[in-house]
Amino acid sequence: MKPARIEPGRFQHFAAVDWSGAAGERHHGIAVALCGPGDAAPELVRPGHRWSRPEVLDWLLNDLPDCTIVGFDMGISLAHVDAGGFFPGWAESPDNARELWALIDRICRDDPHFGASSFVDHPEAARHFRRHGGREGDRFGGGRGRFRVTERAQETMGCRPYSNFNLVGAAQVGKSSLTGMRLLHRLSGRLPVWPIDPLPETGSVVCEIYTTIAARAAGRRTGASKIRDHADLAAALAALGSAPAAGSGAITDHAADALITAAWLRIAAHDPALWNPMGLTAEIAQTEGWTFGAA
């Protein structure tokens, strides 16, 4: 795989999206933060606004500043390498991530707000997921489920990733990943998604992030990475070389995650090593994708 080149000053804006896979139109769990170069505090985009998933897509396509790296806290694909396919035994199992996004979007075409219920309820797809009510598909794999190569890399860093095939529990990311893939399907040809698309020399790019990586860089411990107070937020931002965010008292962990991750992207986005992780091959880039910042 050809190494990605990143020039100093390549990005001028740094955005982080704390995403949600919850049912419904508008979500307390979505937060968008943005900062520019330097050390000015990151700011929430539309503070106090309760975002819908389609509104985030509209912001990306119509209001995103030039030369922005946008980190989404979701999985951009599913495990593929471990079993030689996304859904072994299913004739419709896609060959790559873009085909996966298209399949999910097609099956969920009648689900509003980029929902993904129809996909996890599909008789073939459901065999691979762990769902509520003790429903575990016969191809889920048992234990913690299947993991991508990038998630195994996260584990070596001291993080505790969850399988995207697990849809149960407060820390699960499967639902947000599936709804996010419907959004990514709509970015095709309009905004590149790294590493499924190569890093372009100019312009904006979307990537997957894991907010725990940013929190650990800000001095937080895995398992205690969530921040719900402006004083703790200020300390985390200071560790990332950032001025404190406006406000005092309580803050939602979703907003704090977005603000910290935007500040972390500002210092991480121009590190060549993060664009060229050792485990990322051409095949993995096209099938499983990667988490920016996973070593």
The H-or-E segment that residue 155 falls in is: helix 149-156
Q: pLDDT tens across 104-126, in order? A: 999 999 999 999 999 999 999 99
Q: Write the CA distances from 182 to 78, 123, 154, 290, integer angstroms.
A: 13, 19, 24, 18
β 135-136/130-131 pair status:
antiparallel
Instruction: Please list, in sequence order, all residues whose beta carbon lies within 8 angstroms of the beta carbon of residue 161, skipping any fewer than 6 positions away.
Output: 147, 151, 154, 155, 210
In the predicted model, is pLDDT for residue 223 greater than 80?
no
For residues 213 and 222, give the distance between their C-alpha atoms in angstroms, rounded to a whole number. Answer: 9
Q: What is the 3-state secondary structure (H, E, C) of 200-220?
A: CCCCCEEEEECHHHHHHHCCC
Amino acid 271: pLDDT? 98
Asked if 196 and 289 count as a contact pair (C-beta separation under 8 A), the reply is: yes
Amino acid 250: pLDDT? 94
Q: pLDDT tens across 27-58, in order? A: 999 999 999 999 999 999 999 999 999 999 99
Asked if 148 and 80 count as a contact pair (C-beta separation under 8 A), the reply is: yes
Average pLDDT value for residue range 138-142: 92
Quote the longest CA-to-CA distance of the chain.
54
In the predicted model, is pLDDT for residue 96 greater than 80?
yes
In the predicted model, is pLDDT for residue 22 greater than 80?
yes
In the predicted model, is pLDDT for residue 224 greater than 70?
no
Lowest average pLDDT, out of 148-162, 222-236, 261-275, goes to 222-236
Average pLDDT value for residue range 142-171: 94
Residue 225: band (very low, low, confident or very high) from pLDDT cuts 50, 70, 90: low
For residues 194 and 206, give the distance between their C-alpha atoms in angstroms, rounded to a whole number. Answer: 6
* CA atoms in the 13 A half-sphere facing the CB of 113: 14
Distance from chain centroid for Cα 8? 24
Amino acid 246: pLDDT? 92
Amino acid 169: pLDDT? 86
Q: pLDDT tens across 234-289, in order? A: 999 999 999 999 999 999 999 999 999 999 999 999 999 999 999 999 999 999 99
* Helix (H/G/I), strand (E/B), else coil: 71: strand
For residues 143 and 137, give the distance between their C-alpha atoms in angstroms, rounded to a whole number. Answer: 12
